[in-house]
Amino acid sequence: MNDYKLTILRNQKVGEGIYEMLLTRPDGVEPKGAQFIHIKLKNKAKILRRPFCICDCDGEGILICYAAVGEGTKELAEYAAGEEVEAVLPLGNGWSADGFKRPVLLGGGMGSAVLPLVARLAKRAKPVAYLGYANAGKVVLTERMESLCPTVVATDDGSFGRKGYITDILAQDITSGKVKPDAIFCCGPEIVYKLLLKNPAFADIPIFVSLEKRMGCGVGACLVCTCGIKTKDGVKNLRVCADGPVFDLREVIL
């Protein structure tokens, strides 16, 4: 982990309000799946860096995929190829699919951005991806995922792929025996986590989630990013940046 100056190789719109930014990979940096990058904005009035998961990393460079939701990400969308950004990476502990045989990689909306690198780095595991989006305009990264592992895509309104909530679709496929995951790795809005906990189809499956919390330092020093986690010593406020960002969903206080 270090603070690097990275050159933007491309930064382009890939969906409604969604962008992919490809950055040069510093020598020797080998990010693990579900690690993240902390990018400094050029507007000096915005003093906090913005965290994004390392979506993919290959010979091309380091990819992030982000939604322009607020002032910082809108500023990021304006940056042009050839410009430099300052970023600390790789941060967080990451997650490897290789602890399991047939894990399902479940993405809800922008949460899908964490999955390509996890799929790419799976050596022994044979993951299957389930990606859910609100509508066709929000569908991103599906081709990349399809090139890495079998992938099921759905939209809430049926405008692309199968129709319905991705958790329902996965539950159907588990119940029908189409997939038999020995773990689920998930990133998505909180509602997805609540549905995973509620649906009996997932009751016996370990579920790991990559959490998002507002961050300060990103490296474990300031304690602003904590989340309540059940531990053997009771509930502790652990640091999402340094103790996570991946936790066992059943231990997370949502």
Ligand X SMILES: Cc1cc2nc3c(=O)[nH]c(=O)nc-3n(C[C@H](O)[C@H](O)[C@H](O)COP(=O)(O)OP(=O)(O)OC[C@H]3O[C@@H](n4cnc5c(N)ncnc54)[C@H](O)[C@@H]3O)c2cc1C
Out of ligand FMN, another protein, ligand X, none, which partner does residue 73 contact, by CB within 5 to 8 A per kind?
Answer: ligand X
Binding to ligand X by residue 138, rule CB under 6 A?
A: no
CB of 95 to ligand FMN, least distance (A): 27
When binding is defined by CB under 8 A, the residue of 40, 101, 102, 162 that contacts another protein is 40
216 near ligand FMN (CB under 6 A): yes
Closest CA to 36 of 85, 112, 92, 77: 92
Under rule CB under 8 A, residue 45 binds another protein: yes
Q: What are the two backbone dihedrals, phi and then psi, of residue 39, each rounded to the nearest 5 degrees?
A: -100, 130
Find the binder of ligand X among 28, 214, 232, 233 (CB under 6 A): 214
**What is the Cα–Cα distance from 162 to 38, expressed in whole angstroms?**
34
Q: Which of residues 59-88 bind another protein (CB under 8 A)?
A: 86, 88
Which residues lie across from 186 on neighbouring strands?
106, 209
What is the residue whose two structure tokens read 């992030």? 64
CB of 224 to ligand FMN, least distance (A): 5
Quick note: the x/- pattern for ligand X over 36-65, rule CB under 6 A, is x-----------x-xxxx-x--------xx
Where along the sequence are the contacts to ligand FES (CB under 6 A)? 215-218, 220-225, 239, 241-242
Choice between 6 and 110, CB closer to ligand X: 110
* Helix spans in the chain (H): 71-78, 115-121, 142-146, 166-175, 190-198
Our finding on whether 220 is near ligand FMN (CB under 6 A) is: no
Residue 216: CB minimum distance to ligand FMN, A: 6
Backbone angles phi, psi at 174, to 5 degrees: -70, -45
C-alpha span between 108 and 150 (Å, rounded): 17
Structure tokens at 251: 């231990």
Question: Which residue of 2, 3, 14, 69 would you call a contact of ligand X, by CB under 6 A?
Answer: 69
CB 176 within 8 A of CB 170: no
Q: Which of 20, 21, 52, 48 is nearest to 35 (CA)?
A: 52
Provide the binding-site residues for ligand X, judged by CB under 6 A.
36, 48, 50-53, 55, 64-67, 69-73, 110, 113, 212-215, 245
